[in-house]
Structure 1
């Protein structure tokens, strides 16, 4: 079992969708102050919470992935690069343990809430067998990281509206592009009884739902500007809007996997990062004004 197989197994590159919003939670909590050790621990906790959930997803979905070529035939658990008992299960336990140790090092409240976070990640792959609306459960599961990032710095339940607006924005954004991500698997999911909005309503109607979801996401991001009224935050909204629109207009409604990959990874890789940059610069500017 090689390191690159583990990286591919947990889709480490997808963490780029989570981390900017999790770190946004830390910025909202800490303001202009920087806590390097807490940032490192938040990075570790976020990465391994997601890795635990992804590993459970792979284990529960293995029998489906094994009969869904060609997209998944090279996946580590399907190809045998990682075994089930000696590899996948051991990795899941290790990932969860590292996550728990990171929360222990952060603070008591985060540690107490950590089992609930793992439960959400473990439940996520099960939801595709329960409801077609499971995209929103997945989005909310990852969106909880915003609250986790805040509590890691300030272990009290917050009343700050901008934190909850950020949670809603990240949750809806992820739910919207997860609808797009499953388009190539529509026929396979129908045959195997896996539930998504694409299998329930068809590609075109599911895309309309995704578009509405992303429109609400952008309105939510605009609402955050009332709490961060700076040129920096308004400036990042422009490319964010462009990228949201681009990921929809660049899609092939027929489900061309190349257009889905371009939409999923191309546009969405930058949206969270842009938001985080706007938030950080705005926090710094508002602090200068306050001084």
Structure 2
């Protein structure tokens, strides 16, 4: 019975930590990291690189999300939209989350070292970058782009993991991810315009207003699509890749069509659910194009 209770407690804690770091949102960065690895390797990379690359990605992402929950805990307590989260509700203790952050960052560093020297050298820099997103909202409305920049480190790091070298293509992929993430983060941020203004937090919606913020988000997503088309020409890709970009474009248009900041459920669909589908569609079409069409 004691062992059963321990297992139940451990399972509940694991579930709460998964919710804390929004583990399902790994779908935003993982597909582009896989694309970057495949292009860098000219096929599937070795099992060693795939396994340690995935461990590094998960460790960095979990550590960063948990760290940012700690950094934002005071604002989360005051915001009705986020007051239900684990730290405001005392479902998890701060010291537990601190340990979780340290363990995941340690995993990230070890995994980086298992990949190659460049990844190991850059791992502390990556930790600083991914740990500072929440603080950017204290002083700049460019926080959305910074978030995108941080998540863009996944495909760039994935390329480094395979080759150990710096190249042009991963930075284009990273820019695609940065613009895409920033665009839908702006959309999501429209729910907090009044809260951000009252508490002195910076965001594009609170700084430029609702309508202008949505125009900026559309502009970022337009440039994202243009860069994906640039990659089609730059890497001489096939028609299946274009099919993926076409579907992604239609989904982005749908995303912008259904935006309604007063409807939280609809905003979750626009900001998260549709974009998870977009990343998977681009991944599948790109892999089919690479292995079976081109």
Q: Name the TM tier (shorter chain).
A: over 0.9
- The counterpart of 1:20, out of the listed 20, 31, 45, is 31
Write the distance in 2 (CA, Å) between the matches of 1:60 and 1:149.
27
1:11 equivalent in structure 2: 22
Cα deviation digits, residues 15-44 of structure 1 (max 9, x gap): 110111111211121112332231121111
TM-score by length of 1: 0.93
Cα deviation digits, residues 160-181 of structure 1 (max 9, x gap): x433321111110011011011
2:241 equivalent in structure 1: 233
Matched, 1:216 2:217: no
1:100 equivalent in structure 2: 109
Task: Tell me if the contact between 1:48 and 1:95 (Cα under 8 Å) persists in the aligned partners.
Answer: yes
1:277 equivalent in structure 2: 284
- Name the SS of the counterpart of 1:190 in structure 2: helix
> Deviation of residue 266 (structure 1)?
2.2
Task: Tell me if the contact between 1:228 and 1:279 (Cα under 8 Å) persists in the aligned partners.
Answer: no
> Deviation of residue 191 (structure 1)?
1.0
Matched, 1:65 2:72: no
Matched, 1:74 2:84: yes
- The counterpart of 1:157, out of the listed 161, 166, 170, is 166
71-80 vs 136-145, greater mean Cα deviation: 71-80
| Structure with greater contact order relative to length (CA < 8 Å, sep ≥ 6) | 1
Task: Tell me if the contact between 1:28 and 1:163 (Cα under 8 Å) persists in the aligned partners.
Answer: no
2:213 equivalent in structure 1: 206
Write the distance in 1 (CA, Å) between the matches of 2:106 and 2:66.
13
> Deviation of residue 183 (structure 1)?
1.5
Write the distance in 2 (CA, Å) between the matches of 1:174 and 1:265.
10
Write the distance in 2 (CA, Å) between the matches of 1:228 and 1:27.
15
2:5 equivalent in structure 1: none
Write the distance in 1 (CA, Å) between the matches of 2:47 and 2:285.
20
1:51 equivalent in structure 2: 62
> Deviation of residue 243 (structure 1)?
0.6
Write the distance in 1 (CA, Å) between the matches of 2:149 and 2:14.
30
Write the distance in 1 (CA, Å) between the matches of 2:70 and 2:44.
41
Structure 2 counterparts to residues 98-247 of structure 1, below 5 A:
98-158=107-167, 161-226=168-233, 227-247=235-255
1:38 equivalent in structure 2: 49
The number of residue pairs the alignment matches comes to 282
Q: Which runs of 5+ in 1 are unaligned?
A: none
Cα deviation digits, residues 36-75 of structure 1 (max 9, x gap): 2311211111111111111111111111111112x22321
After superposition, the CA RMSD in angstroms is 1.5
Write the distance in 1 (CA, Å) between the matches of 2:258 and 2:227.
23
2:9 equivalent in structure 1: none
